[in-house]
Amino acid sequence: MISDHDIKQLELKANDIRKDIIEMLVAAGSGHSAGPLGMADVFTALYFNILNIDPDKPEMDERDRLVLSNGHICPVLYATLARRGYFPVSELKTLRKFGTRLQGHPHRGTLPGLETTSGPLGSGLSQACGMAYAGRMDGKKWWVYCLTSDAEHDAGNLWEAVLFAGKYKLNNLTVIIDRNNIQIDGFTENIMPLEPLKDKYEAFGWHVIEIDGNNVQAVIDACNAAKGIENRPVVIIAHTIPGKGVDFMENRFEWHGIPPNIQDVGGAPDKLHQAQEALKELRTLGGKIRSEHE
Amino acid sequence: MSDMLNQNAHLNPKVFDEDVEQVPSRNGFGEGLVLAGDENPNVVGLCADLTGSTKMQAFADKFPDRFIQIGVAEQNLVTIASGMAAVGKIPFTSSYAMFSPGRSWEQIRTTICYNDRSVKIIGSHAGISVGPDGATHQAIEDIAITRVLPNMVVIAPADSIEARKATVAMAKNGKPTYMRLSREKVPVITTESTPFEIGQALVLYTGSDPEKKDDAAIIACGTMVHRALLAAKALKEHKISVRVINCHTIKPLDKKTILQAAEECGAIVTVEEHQIYGGLGSAIAEVVSQNFPVPMKIIGVEDHFGESGEPNELLEKFGLTVDTIVKAVTQVLRMKEK
């Protein structure tokens, strides 16, 4: 059991990561805002509680593998890895700059802690399936996690992997879907409806857990519960609020693919003050930290 | 005429005989994969519902725990393989070339080549000699789309024995590798003793005394190597001496052997069962034009899709014949004289 104190510490950590995200996006001048902010709690729960990893030994064989399939939310991955000790936090400001290890979409190569290259959507789950299948062949104890977006489920390759994991009963694989309901052109249910998503996964032979993805405790509990499910892959549908923590970004698909301070967006401060407002809000917590709120 | 064969190549003594044994190159892959599987327990086989015709069945029978049926899902085929390679496996994936690398190209680019993972893409039924299935199943763009990818190795073996050796070799090369195979039987050109090394082109035939320079070089890959040899033999009867090079590895290209041919022969004809854009001929032209320009002709399918028909009818229609090669050699000789 994790204590209330520890949960609060994780929530504060997630908030630090959100501030990093805003700062790195402003420094980069391009990139995605809503998804990374929405997933900060999931990343914090995984990297600071769930995953068996060692930043000093990023390639150790027994590490759990986390595949980020929707590579465009990499600011949250980079910020989390830096906060976890894989590389200096100061490096975050090199995001998307010439010569950086923090490529616009993640590239496994020079940056420690990355398991794969991703960006083109729909291909991460099958790589995670390949890892899980091979790990099981060799009797490995490590676990495979795959983070995907909801809109990524428009892609055929992803469903090929869902079929595969169902057929081979990959019980060392946990998938977390960022169910934030937005994509570049609008709301997912308008662009290409995904519901009933839970029923679809169950029909493919998966065990489904639905949670509030902005609740660190719920994420931890779901990941631990997933490990107890035998003979089936597990998908955690994490309902998140895109832009979480910054009022004027929350649930606005306009913030999917842009950073603060680039353009005026309805309901947001003028473009010169967006980052300033966002950071102010995050610094004062703005009532966003769940354990203080309750 | 067999005395003009390069003795170091140890070719099949029956290579010019009417009754030379004919075997599809895909059979050699099937044998090679079993050998590779014997040698290394990390070798695994993945197939997209074409286990019999891509000749992966022997591996699946011998190593059922290391064979994975993917179903008709080529994007999944290569990305599952990419994930397995990430954790130490050496995955061989097989399908028809039109589907993989055809349909699976972006996944190969991003998850295999950019990650530099040792996944083997086996594309069978390449070329128009697939025959009756028609253009939808005739991959004549696969060399172009694979050789353009950084980190990728591209191999088009000339016969079944070479395909077997290439399979065993690529299991050890640690690189993303594409191998194109043919459905149709092709004459067995090489023998057990023929040298094979990835990236090392092999001179099979010289039309003149080794001390003297040949009039032209024919550089071929895959199913066209035997026809190149027949063309060289026909040209010899017209007192034209030709060097035939089996360029089984299109990437990395054996620049030394290619440029030596350019310098010593002064004219080059390339032959491939592939589009003239982006394939072997383009690769040779890129090297020759920038280092030692000589007259060249590129023989291949000229910006066209294939169609249904018997293999030889199609090869004739699209100009992949001994006659075409002979004519192209006489053309480059005229260009050379100017």
> pLDDT, tens digit, for every residue of A17-51?
999 999 999 999 999 999 999 999 999 999 999 99
pLDDT, tens digit (0-9, with 9 covering 90-100), for A129-145: 999 999 999 999 999 99
Q: What are the sequence ranges of the domains in chain B?
A: 2-18+194-337, 22-187
Cβ–Cβ < 8 Å for A270, A264: yes
Over chain A, what is the mean pLDDT?
A: 95
pLDDT at position A284: 73
Two tokens at B249? 């590895």
Q: Which of A160, A168, A173 to mutate to test the interface with B (most CBs of B within 10 A)?
A: A160
Interface test with B, best of A131, A145, A154, A173 (most B CBs within 10 A): A131
Rounded Cα distance between B57 and B111, Å, is 26
Confidence of residue A250 (pLDDT cuts 50, 70, 90): very high
Residues in chain B with CB shorter than 8 Å from the CB of A160 are 71, 73, 75-76
* pLDDT level of residue A114 (50, 70, 90 thresholds): very high
Q: Is B335 on the interface with A (CB under 8 A)?
A: no
pLDDT at A29: 94
- As a whole number of angstroms, the distance between CA A223 and CA A258 comes to 31
CA distance A147 to chain B (A): 15
Whether A71 and A39 have beta carbons less than 8 Å apart is answered as no
pLDDT at A290 over 80: no
- What chain A holds in terms of domains, given with CATH numbers, is 4-293 (3.40.50.970)
CA B193, B196, B202, B204 torsion-angle sign: positive
Q: What percent of chain A is modeled with pLDDT above 70? A: 97
How many contacts, defined by CB atoms under 8 Å, are there between A and B? Answer: 95
pLDDT at A287 over 60: no
For chain A, how long is the longest CA-to-CA vector? 56
Chain B residue closest in CA terms to A129: B80
What confidence score (pLDDT) does residue B2 get? Answer: 46
Mark yes or no for CB contact B79/A156 under 8 Å: no
CA distances from B141 to A3, B99, B100, B280, B304 (A): 60, 11, 11, 11, 11
Tell me how close the Cα of A222 comes to any Cα of chain B, in angstroms: 25
CB contact under 8 A, B76 and A161: yes
Q: What is the pTM of this model?
A: 0.95
Helix boundaries (H) for chain A = 4-28, 34-38, 40-45, 74-84, 124-137, 156-167, 188-191, 197-203, 216-227, 274-283, 290-293
DSSP conformation class of A287: T
Number of neighbours of residue A208 by Cβ within 10 angstroms: 18
- Topology of B2-18+194-337 in CATH? Rossmann fold (3.40.50)
Report the percent of chain A where pLDDT is more than 90: 91
The hierarchical CATH code for the domain B22-187 is 3.40.50.970
Confidence band (pLDDT; 50, 70, 90) for A8? Answer: very high
pLDDT of residue B213: 84
Say how far residue A118 (Cα) sits from the centre of its chain. Answer: 13
Q: Measure Cα distances from B102 to B24, B99, B180, B181, B272 in Å.
A: 21, 5, 12, 14, 18
Judge whether B2-18+194-337 and B22-187 match in fold. Answer: yes
pLDDT surpassing 70 at residue B211:
no
Mean pLDDT within A240-255 = 93
- Is the CB of A130 less than 8 angstroms away from the CB of B84? yes
pLDDT, mean of residues B205-219: 85
B79 CB neighbours in chain A (<8 A) are: 123, 126-127, 130, 157, 161
Cβ neighbours of A109 (radius 10 Å):
12
Token readout for B184 is: 């149709």
Chain mean position to CA A282: 19
pLDDT the model gives residue B209: 67
Say whether B302 is catalytic: no
Nearest residue to B285 via CA among B273, B274, B298: B298
Active-site residue among B74, B162, B272, B273? B74
B41 touches chain A (CB under 8 A): no
How would residue A285 be classed by pLDDT, with cut points 50, 70 and 90? low
Interface check B79 vs A, CB under 8 A? yes
The CA distance from B177 to A24, in Å, is: 38
Tell whether A108 lies on the interface with B, counting CB pairs under 8 A: yes
The reported pLDDT for the residue numbered B4 is 84
